[in-house]
């Protein structure tokens, strides 16, 4: 039961990983500020590291996420799907000395691969994006010695990851004289860009938060520092893998604004919870795109990013002699989010269960989620559906730290 919320978090944050929107910019964001971040003893939260201080058991968590997105415009539809492991985390409670955690978190991701071949129209194009902006996130949180219901926490975000884009085009020979067409037969050109992610002039960026955990009400406030992302890209035009033009290097810089987040959890009748979370990020500068060239826009216009999420959860009992249904947790929630990309708004909902495995607290979490995104041209509206399966493994060594409440 203690880890149900952690699963909830992962299920929520990994709910978007396959959208066709924003692949040229940063891809989809996985901020996890929809709901549940204020609820203590629920594991690691990227926006609220302070709640880590209330952890009592060593644990490990991993999530596998499968999602389908279907973009529509009029009668046209275009679907894509993807499987990924967006997050891994270890949590180490240290008793009076707070709690530590180490995680790997996929903050932004872009995955897309498609091709069109139509000889009657001379169409031959293959487009592929692969991008992951990962963060290594060591966190530490400590309950205040003179005010035990309040904790402070911080996370250091070390950014890493890589991205690549391939546009492979076949020739349009319609303007060639018949005797000249032979020369371009099978002559495909690949416009390739490969890059990696770093933070400009700094090793990391930081999140700090403060948590209050009362008997029935818990809430937090967090602040994440602004930073500048650097994406160093190598452009190359390839006739084959061994036959390329001299590559050139371009660095795009993305100004990431500060993030403010807050959330509250209200608990009643011992096992029932109502949760609400808000996240705000003020984007000012447009995001330069990977691409450029052709008719692709050079940058992606931005807007104020806002996430509001609310949900209900019925905690499962952690008493081994209870019935299985009573030990199983259930939750449902909904969120609204305006993306960092201009005119992209998202509505979603999720439904999940936390299934206990054994008596030590190991759990299997299964959730489904779905929703709808509205967008303006060039993006299409999207509906999305996903399934997440998460595993929480609880360490069976050492003593659970004493509860100091």
Partner 1 sequence: MKKSALLFCFLLLLLTACDGEHSGTSAWLKDQGYPMNYEVRTLLIDGLSPVSVEVGFDSIPRKQAFQGVLGNVSSVNHDLVFDIGFRDSAFFDRFGKADSAASLFALYLDTNFYQQTGFDSLPLNEDLELNFSWILSSGEGKGFIDSVGKIRDSVWLRELLSWDNAESFDTVYSLSIVKLDSAVRLDLPSALTERLTELKDGCRLQLRLSAKNSKRLFRFTGPESLHYPLLRMRVTDTDFKTVVPFRMAIVSSKEESCTDCPVLHGGILDSMVVTLPGKDILKALSGFYGDSFPNPAGDGMDVRQAVVMAQLLMQKDGSVEGSELGFPVQVAVASISYHDEKDDYAQTSEAYKLNPDLVEKSGHPNLVFWPGDTLALQVTSGVRSFVNNAANETEDFRVVLRLGYSVLAPNDTLYYNHVNSDGDSVKIFLNHLTYSRYDFSKSVDNPMRLKLWLASKRGEQ
DSSP H helices in 200-337: 324-327
Token pair listed for 174: 């319609």
Please compute, for residue 94, the number of CA atoms within 13 A of its CA located in the half-sphere on the CB side: 11
Q: Is 28 within 8 Å of 19 (Cβ atoms)? A: yes
| Phi, psi dihedrals of residue 173, rounded to the nearest 5° | -95, 10
- Residue 254 Cβ vs partner 1, minimum distance, rounded to whole Å: 16
Q: What is the DSSP letter of 48?
A: -
Window 93-132: residues binding partner 1 (CB under 8 A): 114-116, 118, 121-125, 127
Q: x/- string (CB under 8 A) for partner 1, residues 136-165?
A: ------------------------------
Q: Residue 313 and residue 332: Cα distance in Å, rounded? A: 7
Q: Does the protein bind partner 1 through residue 182 (CB under 8 A)?
A: yes
| The binder of partner 1 chosen from 142, 150, 250, 280 (CB under 8 A) | 250
Nearer to partner 1, 288 or 311 (CB): 288
Question: Bridge partners of 45?
Answer: none
How far, in Å, CA of 295 to CA of 68, rounded? 27
Dihedral, 86, 88, 94, 100 alpha carbons, nearest 10 = -60
Query: Contact between 334 and partner 1 (CB under 8 A)?
Result: no
Does residue 175 belong to the site contacting partner 1 (CB under 8 A)? yes
Of 95, 203, 378, 398, which lies in the binding site for partner 1, with binding defined by CB under 8 A? 378
170 binds partner 1 (CB under 8 A): yes
DSSP state string for 367-386:
EEEEEEEE--TTS-EEEEEE
CA gap 55, 49 in Å, rounded: 11
* 359 belongs to the binding site for partner 1 (CB under 8 A): no
If the CB atoms of residues 81 and 196 are measured against partner 1, the closer one turns out to be 81
Question: Considering only residues 154, 297, 349, 400, which one is a binding residue for partner 1 as defined by CB under 8 A?
Answer: 297
- Of 147 and 177, the one with the shorter C-beta distance to partner 1 is 177
Binding of partner 1 at residue 306 (CB under 8 A)? Answer: no
Considering the complex, state which of residue 97 and residue 172 has its C-beta at the smaller distance from partner 1. Answer: 172
d(CA 283, CA 198): 19
Tell me whether residue 239 or residue 347 sits nearer to partner 1 (CB atom). Answer: 239
Residues 107/29, Cβ–Cβ less than 8 Å: yes
By the rule CB under 8 A, 357 interacts with partner 1: no
Total of chain residues touching partner 1, rule CB under 8 A: 68
Q: How far is the CB of 316 from partner 1 (least distance, A)?
A: 15
> Are the C-beta atoms of 14 and 49 separated by less than 8 Å?
no
Site residues (CB under 8 A) for partner 1, limited to 39-68: 66, 68
Q: How many residues does the chain have?
A: 405
Residues that bind partner 1 (CB under 8 A): 20, 66, 68, 70-73, 75-81, 114-116, 118, 121-125, 127, 167, 169-173, 175-177, 179-180, 182-185, 187, 189, 191, 193, 235-237, 239, 243, 245-250, 292-297, 353, 366, 368, 377-378, 380, 385, 387
């Amino acid at each position: 039961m203690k880890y149900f919320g952690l699963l909830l978090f992962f299920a929520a944050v990994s709910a978007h990983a396959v959208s066709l929107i924003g692949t040229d910019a940063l891809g989809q964001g996985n901020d996890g500020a929809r709901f549940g971040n204020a609820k203590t003893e629920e594991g690691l939260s990227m926006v609220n590291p302070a709640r880590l201080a209330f952890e009592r058991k060593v644990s490990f968590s991993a999530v596998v996420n499968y999602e389908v997105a279907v973009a529509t415009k009029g009668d046209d539809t275009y679907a894509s799907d993807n499987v990924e492991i967006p997050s891994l985390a270890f949590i180490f409670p240290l008793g009076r000395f707070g709690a530590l955690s180490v995680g790997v978190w996929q903050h932004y991701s872009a995955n897309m691969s498609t091709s069109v071949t139509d000889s009657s129209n001379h169409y031959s194009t293959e487009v592929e994006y692969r991008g992951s902006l990962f963060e290594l996130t060591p966190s530490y949180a400590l309950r205040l010695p003179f005010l035990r219901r309040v904790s402070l926490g911080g996370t250091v975000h070390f950014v890493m990851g890589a991205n690549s884009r391939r546009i492979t085009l076949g020739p349009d020979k319609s303007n060639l004289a018949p005797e000249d067409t032979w020369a371009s037969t099978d002559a495909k050109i690949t416009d390739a860009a490969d890059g990696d992610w770093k933070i400009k002039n700094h090793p990391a960026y930081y999140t700090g938060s403060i948590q209050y955990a009362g008997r029935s009400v818990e809430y937090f406030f967090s602040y994440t520092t602004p930073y500048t992302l650097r994406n160093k890209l190598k452009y190359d035009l390839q006739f084959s893998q061994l036959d390329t033009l001299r590559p050139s290097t371009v660095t795009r810089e993305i100004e990431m604004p500060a993030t403010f987040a807050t959330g509250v959890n209200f608990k009643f009748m011992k096992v029932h919870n109502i949760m609400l979370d808000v996240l705000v990020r003020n984007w000012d500068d447009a995001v330069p795109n990977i691409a450029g060239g052709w008719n692709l826009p050079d940058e992606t216009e931005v807007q104020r990013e806002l996430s509001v999420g609310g949900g209900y959860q019925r905690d499962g009992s952690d008493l081994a002699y209870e019935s299985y249904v009573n030990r199983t947790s259930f939750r449902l929630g909904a969120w609204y989010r305006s993306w960092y990309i201009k005119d992209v708004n998202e509505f979603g909902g999720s439904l999940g269960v936390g299934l206990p495995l054994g008596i030590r607290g190991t759990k299997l979490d299964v959730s489904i989620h779905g929703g709808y995104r509205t967008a303006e041209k060039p993006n299409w509206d999207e509906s999305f559906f996903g399934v997440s399966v998460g595993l929480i493994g609880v360490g069976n060594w050492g003593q659970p730290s004493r509860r100091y409440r």
